[in-house]
Structure 1
Amino acid sequence: MKTVKVRKIGNSYGITLPKEVVERYHLLEGETVQIIEGQDGFTVTPYDPEFLAWARAYERTNTKYRDTLKALAE
């Protein structure tokens, strides 16, 4: 568990992520992270539920039409 301070940034507030966290999750400046609220607080994560839905749809399509896509790629 890492401890960070909430800081005032203009009219908003923000937190600074430790370097080891940024490196572990391969985050880059300007990337978007999600804040998921729960009963015990919140989680900051690079996980994007919309991207996951897209990736699953792609996987289904890729599996179903594998031979067709392979032939088109040639």
Structure 2
Amino acid sequence: MNIVVRKIGNSEGIIIPKEVLDRVGVRAGDSLELREEDGKIILVYQDADLAEQLKAARLGMEKYKVALRELAK
């Protein structure tokens, strides 16, 4: 399947066919994480609850990084 990058306002973007979105269970308003790996663009569905949990975990790890480093020894 070929998709063309288009000018959208001051940005550029792609339009993902509805059939593809239906197959992967993504709807308008859902969040996707964009990853770049080995010259490829990968879009990963991001559950809002999971995103909040990961944010809290990162904050906790940053706050207690010295203790976590000691525990890891």
Range of TM-score over shorter length = 0.5 to 0.7
Q: Higher Cα Rg: structure 1 or 2?
A: 1
The one-letter code matched in structure 1 to 2:20 is V
Which residue does 2:64 correspond to in 1?
A: none
Trace 1:1-74 onto structure 2 (pairs within 5 A). Answer: 2-47=1-46, 51=50, 54=53
| Structure 1: gaps of 5 or more residues | 55-74
Structure 2 residue runs without a partner (length 5+): 54-73
Q: Compute the displacement of 1:26 (Å).
A: 1.4
TM-score normalised by length of structure 1: 0.57
Whether the 8 Å CA contact 2:7–2:13 is kept in 1: the answer is yes
TM-superposed CA distance for 1:47, in Å, is 4.3
Moved over 6 A (4+): none
SS in 1 for 2:31: coil
Aligned pair count?
A: 53
Cα displacement (A) at 1:6: 0.5
Compute the TM-score of the two structures, normalised by the length of structure 2.
0.57
Instruction: Give the equivalent residue in structure 2 for 1:68.
Output: none
